[in-house]
Amino acid sequence: LIVVLGVISWRSMPQEMFPVVEIDKVRISTEFEGAPPEEVESQVTIPIEEELDLLPDIDVVTSESNEGISKIVIDLKPDADVDEFVRDLRATVEAITDLPEESERPNITRLKTRFPVISLSVYGDVSPGTLVQSAKDIKSRLQQIDGVASVSIAGEREWELWVEVDPFIMSARSVSLNEVISALRNNLRDLPGGSLKASEGDILLRGKGAAPNIEATKRIVLRSDSGGGQLVLGEVADVQLRLEETKTLGRFNNKPSVNLTITKTAKASTIEVSKLTRDLAAQLQKELPAGIKVGLFSDLSIYVKTRLETLKSSGAVGLVLVLLSLYLFLNFRVAAITAMGIPVSFLVAVIIIYYLGYTINMVSMFAFLIALGMIVDDAIIVTENSYRHMENGMQAVAAAQRGAKEVFWPVMASTCTTVAAFLPMFGVSGTLGLFIQVIPVVVTASLVGSLLEAFIVLPSHSAEMLRLTKKKKHSRINWNKWLEKYIFVVKYALRNRYFISAATIGVLSVVLVFAKTHMPYNQFGDVEIGQFLVNIEAPNTYSIEDTTELAIEIEKRFDGIFQENELDTLLTNVGVTLIDFNRLKLGSNYIQFVVDLKKPKPKGVVEKFVSPLVNMRFTAQGVRERDTETILNEVRESVATIPGIQRFSILRPQGGPAGSDIEVGIVGKETEMLLSLSGEVVTFLRRIPGVRDVRQDLEPGKLEYQYTINARGRELGLTQTQIADAVRTGYLGLEVMQVN
C-alpha cells in the first residue's frame, strides 16, 4: 500500500524549479509616456503615495519614478490579509481624480516567485514585421500545450496606421491637428443607429465607417467648400501601415529576435512542459520559412532534472554504503532488511507532502538529501538489537518483539530531538519563511516514515528473515580488539570527566570562534548553475539605435571570450534590464545579456559513473571545461575596457527569493544631497574587499528643452496645456483610436 500510494503521489506532484510563493508585497505600476522622472514623481507617484496613508497594514512603501513610468512597491506587515488589502487598494487608487489624463490606468499586482519554465526565441536576418508575425503564430501554438498557463512576447508590437502630417502644407491650407484628429475619429469607426421595425422583424441599423487601411484613410474628407471641392487627408499627410515604435529590442545568438516566455500552470510539471515545448520547437523549425530559426534558452527543467539525478544518485550511494557497512559488521540479511527503510521512509514522506499540497522542487529535494543520512538510523538500532537477542539464543519472532520494544523510547526520543532541531524553521517570517517551510516538513515526514518502518514494518521482516550466520559470528570476534580500545577510552574519559568536559568545551569554543570569524556566510550557497546576466548602462543620451550598436559591439567581444563547447545561447535585451523576476528597468540606454553555458564535464566518481548508471543517461555528459566563475571573471575584465559603457554589473541567478545581497537606503528631500551621499556610499562600499558590482538607482535625468508661453502666445489666448498637448502630439504622436 505504501509503495502504491507513494509512487502515485510522486507521479502526481508538480515538478518545478522553486516553490511558488505569494509574497506579502503589492506593486502599483503607472505608465506616463514621454514624461520625465520629475514629472512622473510629482504628478503620479506622490498623489498615489499620499492616498496610501489611509490604508492599514502597510509596513514599508518604496517608489521609483523613471522616465515614462511610476513603480510603487508596498511591503505589508506579516499578519496582513493581502487579498483584502488589494481590494481596498484598488478602490483607493480608482478614487484618485487628479492623475494626468495622459497617464495610463494604474496596474496593481501581488508579487509572486513564479519562474518561467522555458523561453523561446524567433530569430533571423529578416524584417521585424516577419519576426513579430511568426512569434504571434508560434504563441498560439504554444498556448495549446497541456500545462502551459501563459505565453508572453517580450516587446510585443502591434500594427498601426500611422498618419504623419506635413506641418508646412497644413499651415498653407490652414488645417489644424485637431481637425485631423476629429476627422479620423469620426470616420474610422462604426456607429450604432438603433433599430427599425419591419415585417421581417426588428432590423438593426449601423453606420459603417471607412475601412482602416491606407487608401481609405487617405480619402477621409477634412473639409468641403460650397463649390463642391474637398480637402482630403492624403493631401496634407502621409499614411503608412507599420509596426508601433518599440522601446525594447531583442537579439539571440547575434541576430535580431522576438522572444517568448512560457509559464506553466500550478499543477503542471516543469520537465513535461519543457519537453513538449522542445518537441514543438523542433517541429516549428521544419515549418518556418527560410531565414527564420527557433532557439530555446533559460530552460529551468535542466536544473530540476539535475537535482533529481543527484537525489537518485545519493540515494543509491547511501543504499550501497548501508548494505556494505551492515554486511561487514553483522550479516547480509540484516543489511537487506535495514536498507529497505530508505525507500519506505521516502515514500511515506512523499505521501505526506503530496497531501499537504507541496511540490517537487529544488528546496524540497534539498530537504530529501538532508533526510537521507538520518532515515536509516532507527532501522539500524532496532535490527541490531533484535539480532543481538538472536545471538543470545532467542527465537526470531521473540527477538524481533523484544528488540523493538527495548529501544522504542530511546529511538523515539532521538527522532523527536532531530525533528525539534528543524521546527524553528517554521518560525521564520516573511518571504524567506514561506520559501523554506517545506524543509522541516520533508525532514519531519521522512523521520515519521522511518519510525513507522522501524517499529511496524521492520519487526515483521526481522521475524521472518533474520538468521544467524557463522561467518558473521566469527567476524564479530575480529572486532573485539577495537572494542577493547573503545572501552579503554570510555573508562579514561569517565575517570577524568572534568578534564574531558573542559577540554571539549574549549575545543568547541575555539572551533565556533574560528567559524564565526573566518567562514563566509552565504544564505543559499553558490551553485554551478551555468547562467549569468551582464547588465550594461550606456550614457542616458543614447537612443535605442545607439544602444543596439553598442550591444552588437559587445557581442563581438564575447565571441573572443568563450571557448569551444562553452556558450550555449546568448540573449541580448536592448532597452530593458531585468533585476529579478519581479523587477525590471526600462530605458533606451540599458542592455542586458543573458548567457547560458553548456553543461560542465562531470567531476568525481558519482557524477562520472554512479549518476549515469542510476539514471540510465550515458549520452548526456557535459562538455564544458571551465567553471562559470572563471568565465564570468573574464567577461567582467573584458567588458570593463569597452568604451561607451557608463556602468555595468554581472549577476548570477540566486536560489531562493530574489534580491540583492545587501541594500542600503538613503532617505532625504533634496535630490542633490541624495546624489552626493549616494556617491560617497558607493565609493566606500567599493573599497571593501569582496564587494563588487555596486550600483545605485538614483540617476541623473536626460537633457531636456523647456518651453513657456511668450507674449504672443498669451495674446492669442493659448494656455500651457494647449501648447503641451500640441507639442506632445507633434513629437510623441497621439493614439486616436483602436480598430480591429
With 90 as the cut, is the pLDDT of residue 278 above it?
A: yes
Return the percentage of the chain with pLDDT > 70, whole number. Answer: 89
Closest CA to 177 of 185, 254, 137: 185
pLDDT band at residue 662 using 50, 70 and 90 as cut-offs: confident
Residue 225 sits at φ, ψ, to 5 deg, of -110, 175
With 90 as the cut, is the pLDDT of residue 598 above it?
A: no
Q: Supply the pLDDT for residue 292.
A: 92
Indicate the average pLDDT of the chain: 83
With 90 as the cut, is the pLDDT of residue 215 above it?
A: no
CATH 3.30.2090.10 residue window(s) in the chain? 159-243
With 60 as the cut, is the pLDDT of residue 656 above it?
A: no
pTM for the whole thing? 0.74
- 655: which residues sit within 8 A by CB, 6+ positions away? 18, 362, 524, 525, 527
Q: Supply the pLDDT for residue 476.
A: 47
Q: Compute the average pLDDT of residues 248-267.
A: 89
With 60 as the cut, is the pLDDT of residue 246 above it?
A: yes
Q: Compute the average pLDDT of residues 341-355.
A: 87
Q: Compute the average pLDDT of residues 590-600.
A: 89
Q: What is the 3-state secondary structure (H, E, C) of 689-736?
A: CCCCCCCCCCCCCCCCCCCCCCHHHHHCCCCHHHHHHHHHHHHCCCCC
**Crossing angle of helices 301-329/341-355, nearest 10°?**
140
Q: If residue 74 lies in a helix (H) or strand (E), which one and from where to where?
A: strand 69-76
Given the candidates 3.40.50.720, 3.30.1440.10, 2.60.200.20, 3.30.70.1430, the CATH classification of the domain at 22-112 is 3.30.70.1430
* Residues 442-500 pLDDT 10s: 999 999 888 988 888 888 888 887 777 655 444 545 667 778 888 999 999 999 989 99
* Residues 681-705 pLDDT 10s: 888 888 888 787 777 777 666 777 8
With 50 as the cut, is the pLDDT of residue 230 above it?
A: yes
Q: What is the dihedral of CA 268, 271, 277, 281, to 10 degrees?
A: 180
**Crossing angle of helices 438-452/377-391, nearest 10°?**
20
How deeply is 92 buried, as exposed, middle or buried, from its count of CB atoms within 10 A (0-12, 13-18, 19+)? middle
Closest CA to 523 of 421, 435, 631, 424: 435
Tell me if 18 sits within 8 A of 364, measured CB to CB: no
Output the CA torsion sign for 347, 657, 580, 55.
positive
- In the DSSP assignment, the letter for residue 644 is T
Closest CA to 75 of 539, 560, 657: 657
C-alpha grid cell, residue 125: 536576418
Q: Compute the average pLDDT of residues 24-41.
A: 86
- 603: which residues sit within 8 A by CB, 6+ positions away? none
Q: Supply the pLDDT for residue 522.
A: 63
C-alpha grid cell, residue 117: 519554465
Q: What is the dihedral of CA 79, 84, 89, 95, to 10 degrees?
A: -150
Q: Supply the pLDDT for residue 554.
A: 93
With 70 as the cut, is the pLDDT of residue 167 above it?
A: yes
CATH 3.30.70.1430 residue window(s) in the chain? 22-112, 531-661
CATH number for the domain formed by residue range(s) 159-243: 3.30.2090.10
CATH number for the domain formed by residue range(s) 303-478: 1.20.1640.10
User: How many angstroms separate the Cα of 720 from the Cα of each of 180, 417, 717?
Assistant: 21, 74, 10
Q: What is the dihedral of CA 10, 12, 17, 19, to 10 degrees?
A: -100
Q: Supply the pLDDT for residue 474.
A: 46
How far is it, in rounded angstroms, from Cα 461 to Cα 383? Answer: 10
* Residues 462-471 pLDDT 10s: 888 777 765 5
Output the CA torsion sign for 306, 309, 314, 317.
negative
How far is it, in rounded angstroms, from Cα 546 to Cα 592? Answer: 15
* Residues 497-542 pLDDT 10s: 899 999 999 999 999 998 888 776 665 555 567 888 898 989 888 8
Tell me how long the chain is.
Answer: 740
- CATH architecture of the domain with range 531-661: 2-Layer Sandwich (3.30)
Residue with cell string 523510547: 409
Q: What is the largest CA-CA distance in the chain?
A: 126
* Residues 84-141 pLDDT 10s: 899 999 999 988 888 888 888 899 988 776 678 899 999 999 988 889 889 999 999 9
Long-range CB contacts (within 8 A, 24+) of 457-460: 457/340, 457/344, 458/337, 458/338, 458/340, 458/341, 458/379, 458/382, 458/383, 458/404, 459/382, 459/386, 459/400, 459/401, 459/403, 459/404, 460/400
Tell me if 590 sits within 8 A of 536, measured CB to CB: yes
Pairing of strands 107-112, 221-224: unpaired
Q: Supply the pLDDT for residue 472.
A: 46
Q: Compute the average pLDDT of residues 631-635.
A: 89
How deeply is 738 buried, as exposed, middle or buried, from its count of CB atoms within 10 A (0-12, 13-18, 19+)? exposed
* Residues 294-331 pLDDT 10s: 999 988 888 888 878 777 777 777 778 777 877 777 67
Residue 77 sits at φ, ψ, to 5 deg, of -70, 155
CATH 1.20.1640.10 residue window(s) in the chain? 303-478
Tell me if 67 sits within 8 A of 587, measured CB to CB: yes
- 117, amino acid identity: V
Q: Where are the alpha helices (DSSP H) in 194-331?
A: 214-218, 270-287, 301-329
Q: Is 173 helix (H, G, I), strand (E, B) or coil?
A: helix
Return the percentage of the chain with pLDDT > 90, whole number. Answer: 18
Of 397-401, 671-675, 736-740, least confident by mean pLDDT is 736-740
* Residues 547-582 pLDDT 10s: 999 999 999 999 888 888 888 999 999 988 876 555
Residue with cell string 503608412: 240
C-alpha grid cell, residue 598: 553548456
Cα 71 to the center of its chain, rounded Å: 19
C-alpha grid cell, residue 57: 497594514
**90 C-beta neighbours (distance < 10 Å), count:** 14
Closest CA to 535 of 552, 559, 557, 551: 551
Cα 664 to the center of its chain, rounded Å: 23
